[in-house]
Structure 1
Amino acid sequence: MVAFALPAVSGEAQATRTAFGHTADGQTVDLVTLANSHGVRASVMSYGASLQSLLVPDRNGKLADIVLGYDTLQGYLDRRQYVGATVGRYANRIAHGRFALDGKTFQLTLDDGPNSLHGGVKGLDMQVWKVVDVKTMGSAASVTLQYISPDGDQGYPGKVTMTATYKLSEDNQLTITYTATTDKPTIVNLSNHTCWNLGGEGSGTVMDEQLMIPGGAITPVDAASIPNGDIVSVAGTPYDFRVAKPIGRDIRDGSSQQLLFGHGYDMNWVISRKPVAEPRVVARVEDPRSGRVLTLWSAQPGLQFYSGNFLDGTTVGKAHHIYRQGDAFVLEPQRFPDTPNHPDFGSARLAPGETYRNTIIYRFGIDGGRAPASRE
């Protein structure tokens, strides 16, 4: 495929589309790069509707790619790690891969020991999505991708049509909007699994980055990372991020069974008991080295925070960087894990005629203000 750039003038948003490679069965994977006048560039890959790279300036205007990943498609094909990917049909875990809906029990494919994780053996992260729209509108550039999941896909009922729209604006805001519709009752929970390092991918640990999560409770899990149904206050525990603190400050607290189960942080924070009407702040991260700040907005009730615990030094990513434990964090706004098996957690049900929506907003700045324009 020949690269093309949509018409844009200096100071306006731009969008460029190129071929990124081919899957083993010959499907073309596209890469769409969105750019604004400040030098911020977001590259979105049609394999997994994934955020493949994101260049953001630091306090001195120097650009760095702040998401983990690979320079070529083959890296994503060789090893399933969800980096940057859209995850679902149900993000997070379903216990034993089973749930009941309208009096019928459904069995999903199992890919996480006895459980189903991020959609099963071949979730949305492993599908080639169709690029259906690439456009610029003055100060914003966007790409919309679509995937149609057939009835029975990985055991889920209903033919579900999903879209993922990435939009980059002039104020250094990247928005991902997920939608889904179905032809029969089903469950849907879509999110994004970008692995962030605000100092730049490959720059080392994120343990010194300052994290704030406003949630006052978590949903504790068992040794298989399945919620036990409780909702427990974070007060007086290592999970209390209501006041910003370094990610690594309490991560070695051996008195915490949850940290032992997850080899670090890997659990759901309760932001609210149900989705709200408008996105609000669900997390803020600041990197003291670079000055970069990420503020995350969502209307979802839960936020899964994962501290890169299973990056084990065997992953060679972009620019031949080795990714090690604690070299990234993941923040996934979503429904609570295993919600279909815990009525007290709410509902993930989607019926015909309804539209599921999850809007995730990433706002980038620097300590003390908005990020400067790039000097590169």
Structure 2
Amino acid sequence: MAFGQTADGKTAHLFTLTNAHGMVVKVTNFGGIITSIQVPDKNNQPGDVVLGFDSLSSYLSGQPYLGALLGRYGSFIGNGRFSIDNKDYQLATNAGTNHLHGGKSGFDKKLWQAEEIRSGKKEAALRLAYMSANGEEGFPGNLDCRVTYTLTDQNELRIDYEARTDQKTHVNLTHHTYFDLSAGKNPTILSHEVQINADRYVVMDPKMVPTGELREVKNSALDFTKPAALGSRMEQLPGAYDHNFLLNRSGNNALQLAATVFEPGSGRYLSVFTTEPGLELATANWLNGKLKGKGNRVYAKQSGFLLYPQHLPDSPNQSAFPGTLLKPGEVYRQTTVYQFSVKTAR
């Protein structure tokens, strides 16, 4: 169905994926944005567990990447610069002196070509395609991208990313979905209990550029190796959670469990699986009550959390971090699975 008009007069569409268990996912081909995920609670009552808007115009009016597909590079690149084969590249800078989430006009602001597909298991899926031209936001190479959203009968939203290039370039695609497993029943997400399979996190300097240190989470507010409520130790931080973790992995490209989240009131339980080396946790301190979302809900501070897999920030400039360089003839692949279930207790 039509979702609205972009600034240049093109029509964006909204696509709906459903399964046999009452789960509904809505995605628009503008920015690959997930606008809604309806998931039953422990009483089998559906609720929308992501933040978003009812109309395209709200996504166009300036907002912090709600539900958006990020690229070419999610997260920060320090000073918007990197070098490939001794050639320097200057990217668009849109977060102080840094490049953030693809730049001033990243993948979140592009109208993607959309195709509804069916897998061999008859699962509902949507495939989006976009060709990022050489030089876009400063990145080298023509980058041909495909992102497929699949809703399974196991209540999994699977996101598969692929990209190919004709020049060496850096790629780090991910999805910036804000979750609230209470579906708006609670004013904040601070009671959500989180567990992350990570012993180390990325240390950032005051300008949000990694220092290169991967510090142990043990005995800190960032230790989620055992379940902890998001609000239980936040006072130990100078701000809120906005940290990237290096996941504990047993293999390089296998899909593995990265994190779980439990919301006691609804009984909703989220498991996050990924092929990526890193995971970002953020509690949306930047929401300030000025945005009004679906159903006229005001998005106040900490009314959603983000838990998105990716490569580590500034990887093009950090030789000790897993690399993000994509070469001609190679295929960039990334898979993230958000699996929903219900439990009476964790």
TM-score (norm 2): 0.97
Tell whether 2:305 aligns with 1:305: no
Please show how residues 236-255 of structure 1 align to structure 2 within 5 Å.
236-253=219-236
Report how far residue 272 of structure 1 moved.
4.1
> In 2, Cα distance between the equivalents of 1:299 and 1:143?
20
Structure 1 residue 309, shift from structure 2 partner: 1.1
The answer for the alignment partner of 1:335 in structure 2 is 311
Paired residue secondary structure (1:231): strand
% of aligned pairs identical?
36
For the pair 1:296 / 2:279, whether they are aligned, the reply is no
Give SS of 2:269's match: strand
Q: 8 Å contact 1:219–1:268 — kept in the other structure?
A: yes
8 Å contact kept, 1:275–1:299 = no
CA change 1:73–1:315 in 2 (3 A) is: same
Q: Structure 1 residue 203: deviation in Å?
A: 3.9
Ranges in structure 2 where 5+ consecutive residues have no aligned partner = none
- The answer on 1:318 being equivalent to 2:294 is yes
One-letter code aligned to 1:163 = R
Equivalence for 1:352? 328
Aligned-residue offset at 1:336: 0.5
Give 5+ residue unaligned stretches, structure 1: 1-17, 254-258, 370-376
- 134-143 vs 28-37, greater mean Cα deviation: 134-143
Counterpart for residue 43 of structure 2:
60
**Separation in structure 2 between the aligned mates of residue 226 and residue 275 of structure 1, nearest angstrom:** 27
Kept in 2: contact 1:273–1:346 (CA 8 A): no
What amino acid does structure 1 have at the position aligned with 2:272? L
Partner of 1:35: 18
| Aligned-residue RMSD, C-alpha | 1.5
Name the structure 2 match of 1:218. Answer: 201
SS of the residue aligned with 2:79?
A: helix
In the alignment, is residue 73 of structure 1 matched against residue 56 of structure 2?
yes
Structure 1 counterpart SS, 2:235: coil
Answer yes or no: is the 8 Å Cα contact 1:272–1:302 preserved in 2. no
Letter in 2 for 1:61: N
Tell me if structure 2 keeps the 8 A contact 1:202–1:321.
Answer: no
The structure richer in strand per residue is 2
- Measure, in 1, the Cα distance between the counterparts of 2:86 and 2:166: 18
Q: Which residue of 1 aligns with 2:135?
A: 152
Greater CA drift, 104-113 or 133-142: 133-142
Please tell me whether residue 229 in structure 1 is matched to residue 212 in structure 2: yes
Deviation at 1:81, TM superposition (A): 1.3
Task: State the match for 2:87 in structure 1.
Answer: 104
TM-score (norm 1): 0.89
Q: Confirm or deny that 1:281 pairs with 2:251.
A: no
CA distance in 2, matches of 1:331, 1:151: 30
**Residue type at the aligned position of 1:218:** Y
Does 2:110 align with 1:134? no
Instruction: Give the secondary structure class of the aligned counterpart of 2:130.
Output: strand
Report the number of matched residues. Answer: 345
Residue 132 of structure 1 and its aligned partner are, at CA, apart by 3.0
Report the Cα offset of residue 27 of structure 1: 1.1
Distance 2:252 2:316 in 1: 19
Distance apart, 1:99 and its partner CA? 0.6
Is the Cα–Cα contact under 8 Å of residues 186 and 350 in structure 1 kept in the other structure?
yes
